[in-house]
Chains A and B, each alone.
Chain A
Amino acid sequence: MKDLRVAPSSSGVGRAPERTGRLPTLELLLAGVLVAALLRPVIVRFLEARPELQTWATIFVSISLQALPFLVMGVVLAGAIAAFVPARFMTRVLPRRPLLAVPVAGVLGCALPGCECGSVPISARLMARGALPAAALTFMLSAPAINPVVLVSTAVAFPGRPAIVVARFVASLLTAVVVGLLWMRFGREAHTSRARHLLGAGNTQWDTFRDSVRHDFFHAGGFLVVGAAAAATLQVVVPRSILDSVAGSGVMGVLTLAVLAVLLSICSEADAFVAASLGQFSTTAQLAFMVVGPGVDVKLVALQAGIFGRPFALRFAPLTFSVAVLLSLVVGWTLL
């Protein structure tokens, strides 16, 4: 009699079911969606009695929805660059002379649409291929801040106020260049020699593209949600009087939003919408939020520490923060 317990696997040996440690995500998600749909009547009734929650939810969803197309555009373009543009292209474009290389690198940032998380590994790759560290760092700061997607999203977030877009461009570019020049003067080789190669594992270009888009989308999207939730909470929960007094007081308002930008770590394509929602604050404060965010935030510091090492991150982050805030104040007071 045949032994019916022999598992008919190709290797001929019965194997225990493969445990990859990963949950069946798709099934979980579908189940979650179904549960949510079923719970809807309960939730509706719950919210009817609580208009403050409903308002919070409306603001939260609106920021998320508003930012979504720009987020998608950004990750798609960044994925395309990661997958289809060879890194060597960028090293060849930079001039040799350090004093020139830094500003040029800053302006080149225009060409690289993408979240700040993408620019960190790219910058590391540039350094590994011999680019001047200060120039690579300038590029790392400017690319997420002045690329077309970000500028368009800023224009959409502040309709009818092109001065803000210009201010953002100027302040961010100046910040990137100034930090680069300062680093050239005061930074030390030891801090950046640890730049390591990342990604680039085999795979076809389309695979890299697809995986990069997915990864960036989830990464950036997650932080967008945090940012939207925080902004909604600020608007609904914090008593207006406190918000107004902090917001109204010039430098305090600017510093508050700058710190908030660091904490919230929103992707640069989306931070304009969160900034726009903080209407009580002065325009300069909103500008600071947008200039500081792409350069230094919790997520970026973690990334930089991972790629360049902690000593680097400890020095680079405060430097970028201070320069960004100062330049925001200056540009804000002159242009806005």
Chain B
Amino acid sequence: MLIAGVIVFRTVLVGGHVNYVRPGLGIPLLLAAAVMVLIGVASLWSRAAAGDAPPHEHVVAHRHHGPGIGWLLLVPMLALITIPQIPLGSYAAGLGAGRSPLRAAVDFPPLPEATNGAIDLPVSGFVGRALYAPETLEGKTVRLVGFVTPDAKSPSGWLLTRFSIGCCAADAFPLKVAVLNEVPRQADQWVEVVGVFRAGPPRGDDGSAQPQLGVVQSRTVPQPDNPYEY
């Protein structure tokens, strides 16, 4: 228990948890880890103090399966320290997902001011407006950040993608933008694009919403601190 607590603690401190859950869960995770560490230490303490006294009997309560199953907890802990902590990427985007979190909002808030010649929008904001309030995007230059998902049927061979999560990575929904005038890029590369909304067939072959963006300029960027949108 002690070890698990320490691992979780370190993960949150390093910031790796945003690849899996909402950043807001960081504090509760730290608290939980602290509790785990405390209880772990307390157990070790009492075991050491008891020395070689005869083993206690009070774990007999659950005869059918004692905490033996607790060993399974090692799996996510080991996963946290061995596998690279990267967010969901192009493979997951290709899988398709559950219900879209985008709802036809009755009215969208006014667009923010442009910075450096373009309005910074989350991909979910862009896709939402493109589907339900395209008039708000008329003639506006926007800046989006997402990663590359290869798609042979799209105009440039790839779609700008961003995952939107409700609770955690497990319910992530991929939002896709069909970029026009773009060069071929590598899967999972993070890209920042500046462009103008183009009205066009809003849905891709698989039924997913894929509004179009005529790209004016783009560049690769490192993975953002918060890879998901909420």
A 294-333 to B, binary, CB cutoff 8 A, 1 in contact else 0 = 0000010011011000000000000000000000000000
Q: Is the CB of A158 within 8 A of B167?
A: yes
- A residues contacting the other copy or chain, number (CB 8 A): 80
Q: Which residues from B are CB-within-8-Å of A144?
A: none
Q: Is the CB of A69 within 8 A of B62?
A: no
- Shortest Cβ gap from A113 to chain B (Å): 14
- Shortest Cβ gap from B168 to chain A (Å): 4
Q: Is the CB of A30 within 8 A of B3?
A: yes
Task: Give Cα A236–Cα B96 distance, bound, in whole angstroms.
Answer: 10
Q: Which residues from B are CB-within-8-Å of A60?
A: 76, 79
Q: Which residues from A are CB-within-8-Å of B129?
A: none
Q: Is the CB of B173 within 8 A of A61?
A: no
Task: Give Cα A59–Cα B170 distance, bound, in whole angstroms.
Answer: 5
Q: Is the CB of B64 within 8 A of A58?
A: no
Q: Is the CB of A20 within 8 A of B87?
A: no
Q: Which of A59, A213, A278 touches B39 (beta carbons < 8 Å)?
A: A213
Task: Give Cα A214–Cα B74 distance, bound, in whole angstroms.
Answer: 15
Closest A residue by C-beta to B8: A68
Q: Which residues from B are CB-within-8-Å of A201?
A: 56-58
B105 close to chain A: CB less than 8 A: no
Task: Give Cα A57–Cα B61 distance, bound, in whole angstroms.
Answer: 34
Q: Which of B19, B82, B84, B88 touches A39 (beta carbons < 8 Å)?
A: B82
Within 8 A of B (CB), among A39-85: 39-40, 43-44, 47, 51-52, 54-55, 57-66, 68-69, 71-73, 76
A142 close to chain B: CB less than 8 A: no
B 55-83 to A, binary, CB cutoff 8 A, 1 in contact else 0 = 11111011111111111111111111111
Closest A residue by C-beta to B230: A159
B46 close to chain A: CB less than 8 A: yes
Known: A66-B25, A218-B1, A240-B95. A210 touches B42 (CB 8 A): yes
Within 8 A of A (CB), among B177-227: none
Q: Which residues from B are CB-within-8-Å of A274?
A: 170
B 20-40 to A, binary, CB cutoff 8 A, 1 in contact else 0 = 110001001101100110010
Q: Which residues from A are CB-within-8-Å of B168?
A: 62-63, 65-66, 273, 276-277
Known: A47-B83, A54-B83, A273-B168. A210 touches B65 (CB 8 A): no
A121 close to chain B: CB less than 8 A: yes
Q: Is the CB of A68 within 8 A of B32?
A: yes
Q: Which of A159, A219, A240, A281 touches B62 (beta carbons < 8 Å)?
A: A219
A 20-45 to B, binary, CB cutoff 8 A, 1 in contact else 0 = 10100010011011001101100110
Task: Give Cα A17–Cα B92 distance, bound, in whole angstroms.
Answer: 54
B43 close to chain A: CB less than 8 A: yes
B166 close to chain A: CB less than 8 A: yes
Q: Is the CB of A40 within 8 A of B81?
A: yes
Q: Which residues from B are CB-within-8-Å of A90?
A: none
Q: Is the CB of A215 within 8 A of B59?
A: yes
New A-B contacts (19) at CB < 8 Å, excluding given A54-B83, A63-B170: A29-B3, A36-B82, A40-B81, A43-B82, A54-B84, A61-B80, A62-B168, A65-B168, A66-B20, A121-B61, A156-B167, A159-B167, A213-B39, A218-B70, A222-B67, A240-B96, A273-B168, A279-B98, A279-B171
CB pairs A–B below 8 angstroms (28 shown): A22-B55, A26-B44, A36-B78, A37-B82, A43-B83, A51-B89, A51-B92, A58-B87, A58-B88, A58-B92, A61-B83, A62-B19, A62-B170, A63-B170, A65-B20, A66-B20, A71-B32, A117-B62, A156-B167, A201-B56, A217-B36, A221-B72, A222-B70, A225-B76, A226-B72, A273-B170, A277-B168, A306-B64
Which residues of B pack against A, CB within 8 Å? 1, 3, 7-8, 11, 17, 19-21, 25, 28-29, 31-32, 35-36, 39, 42-44, 46, 52, 55-59, 61-84, 86-92, 95-99, 166-171, 173
Which residues of A pack against B, CB within 8 Å? 18, 20, 22, 26, 29-30, 32-33, 36-37, 39-40, 43-44, 47, 51-52, 54-55, 57-66, 68-69, 71-73, 76, 117, 121, 156-160, 198-199, 201, 203, 207, 210-211, 213-215, 217-219, 221-223, 225-226, 228-229, 231-232, 235-236, 240, 273-274, 276-281, 299, 302-303, 305-306
Sorted from nearest, which 8 A-B pairs have the closest CB atoms?
A279-B98, A218-B70, A222-B69, A277-B170, A51-B91, A62-B169, A62-B20, A69-B28
